[in-house]
């Protein structure tokens, strides 16, 4: 008995090109194949607060802005990168990149904005966002 295989023109023509297209994130490129800065975050929760760790490498503390509004958190960082290769007094290559990295997300509950705290050290932004008192879920009794 022979082994029969189905022929599918779409798979042959586009299979390799489309494989993983909708799965892999696409990163915009800044210059010469170097990706622009992306803000990567970890969000943790306990009974009293949310803790956010955001990786923002190569950015100065003064160039980071955090906005809090209810349960919405927005992190923006102004990115300025430059590198220059010199040989003697002659510049052989010079690269610069300036832009804005931004990340916004919504937390399950409201934040006590007055008690929120932010620290930036070694490329990591740590946010401590206490939960607003009385903003928890409530189950109503039916009479």
List, for residues 33-49, the tens digit of each pLDDT value: 445 668 999 999 999 99
* pLDDT of 4: 65
Q: Which residue has the higher pLDDT, 28 or 140?
A: 140
β-pair type (72-87, 34-35): unpaired
Phi, psi of 63 (to 5 degrees): -95, 10
Map out the domains of the chain with their CATH numbers.
34-130 (2.60.40.790)
Alpha helices by DSSP H, listed for the chain, are 9-18
pLDDT at 60 over 80: yes
């Amino acid at each position: 008995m022979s082994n029969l295989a189905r022929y599918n023109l779409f798979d042959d023509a586009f299979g390799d090109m489309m494989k993983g297209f909708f799965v892999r994130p696409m990163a915009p490129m800044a210059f010469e194949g170097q990706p622009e800065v992306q803000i990567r975050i970890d969000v943790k929760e306990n009974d009293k607060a949310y803790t956010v760790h955001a990786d923002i490498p190569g950015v100065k503390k003064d160039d980071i802005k955090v906005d809090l509004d209810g349960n919405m958190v927005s992190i923006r960082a102004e990115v300025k990168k430059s590198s220059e290769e010199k040989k003697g007094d002659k510049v052989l290559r010079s690269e610069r990149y300036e832009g804005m990295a931004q990340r916004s997300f919504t937390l399950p509950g409201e934040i006590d904005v007055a008690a929120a705290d932010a620290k930036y050290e070694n490329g990591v932004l740590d946010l401590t966002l206490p939960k607003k008192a009385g903003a928890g879920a409530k189950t109503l009794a039916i009479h």
